[in-house]
Amino acid sequence: MQLGVLTAQPLGHMDRSDAFAFLESLGVDAVELGAGGLIGADHIDRRELLDSDEARAALEADLADHDLDICGLAVHDNPLHPDDERRARVDTETRETIRLAAELDVDRIITFSGLPAGGPEDSVPNWVTFPWPQEHSDALEYQWEIAVDYWSELGAYADDHGVDIAIEMHPNMLVYDPVAMVELREATHERVGANLDPSHLWWQGIDIPKAIRYLGDHDAIKYVHAKDVRVYDANAEIEGVLDNKGFDREAERAWLFRSVGYGHDEDAWRDIVSTLRLVGYDDVLSIEWEDGLAEPTEGLEKAVTMLQEGLLRKDADVDWVPE
């Protein structure tokens, strides 16, 4: 297994060469690069790279200079948005990112499932979390019809380019848990699968090793993020975990994203690494750093240090097993 970093959040203030040099100094193996969408594109210009051999050569030179590979292109946004203009823009960005991944010989893009409105006349996305009254179940059925149509077609488009789509299970999106992820995959295309980000699952009360086994049983894991979260019981036990307070109100929230190791300990992350190997995922673990209580480079350094100790980098050796 290798260690990657999504460069957008912690290193977006640096130019590409400085960001790559910093990651090289930490011993990171690969970079996940923002190509558009809600996280932006701090270190690459998607359209320039699509149009210019020189731009692609310059990126490849920067990667080689710092002994880094690209482990994924991120384009998180809502491709099912009810606003026609926004939906078209996101779809274009997503398709261009798929094309760029193919040009750069990158295996996958990372995105969200998207979230439609609750009906054809509505103008804003609608996150349904309870089936009653009946109009909410009707809205969910409508949303799944839209999602299946879109992801079936986009999965085929990605397949034409030899690229996987890793969907991050996320609140305020149609797919936010492993069961819905498998449902979408089985209803659409084998190129569509999960970006397993433990942080969004932990605060929902999901057991991460069990989620890994479930997704692994359905051959659904395309990618894995290393992002941590801490549930603060003093708040969560009063108001629950469906917390819509701003992330600038840290002391009041039921949970916060934290640097790896500050939400769950080393044993929890070692169990994640081991369970991923059990289900056959031996690829990149990519740090998505978000932590309102830490300075970005320091928080990233702490995360890298802890994960470096827990990664299993070499192939398993079963020769020791007794006859």
Name the DSSP class of 131.
Answer: -
Q: Which residue segments constitute the domains of the chain, with CATH numbers given?
A: 2-228+266-310 (3.20.20.150)
Please give the pLDDT value at position 320. 67
Q: Find, among 308, 287, 310, 309, the residue nearest to 299 by Cα.
A: 287
Compute CA distances 228 → 118, 158, 198, 243, whole Å: 31, 30, 7, 17
Please give the pLDDT value at position 242. 95
Tally: H helices and E strands in the chain: 12, 10
Total Cβ atoms within 10 A of residue 234: 8
Helix (H) or strand (E) holding 194: strand 192-196
- What is the C-alpha to C-alpha distance for residues 294 and 13, in angstroms, rounded to an integer? 16
- What is the C-alpha to C-alpha distance for residues 46 and 277, in angstroms, rounded to an integer? 33
Please give the pLDDT value at position 317. 75
Q: What stretches in the chain show pLDDT beneath 50?
A: none
- What is the C-alpha to C-alpha distance for residues 198 and 194, in angstroms, rounded to an integer? 11
Please give the pLDDT value at position 9. 87
- Coil, helix or strand for 225? strand
Q: Find, among 262, 227, 295, 226, the residue nearest to 11 by Cα.
A: 295
Q: Is the pTM of this model over 0.95?
A: yes
- Coil, helix or strand for 250? helix
Helix runs in the chain, H state only: 8-11, 16-26, 46-51, 53-65, 84-103, 134-160, 178-187, 198-202, 208-217, 233-239, 266-278, 296-310
- What is the C-alpha to C-alpha distance for residues 191 and 293, in angstroms, rounded to an integer? 37
Please give the pLDDT value at position 45. 97
Helix (H) or strand (E) holding 80: none
- Coil, helix or strand for 74? strand
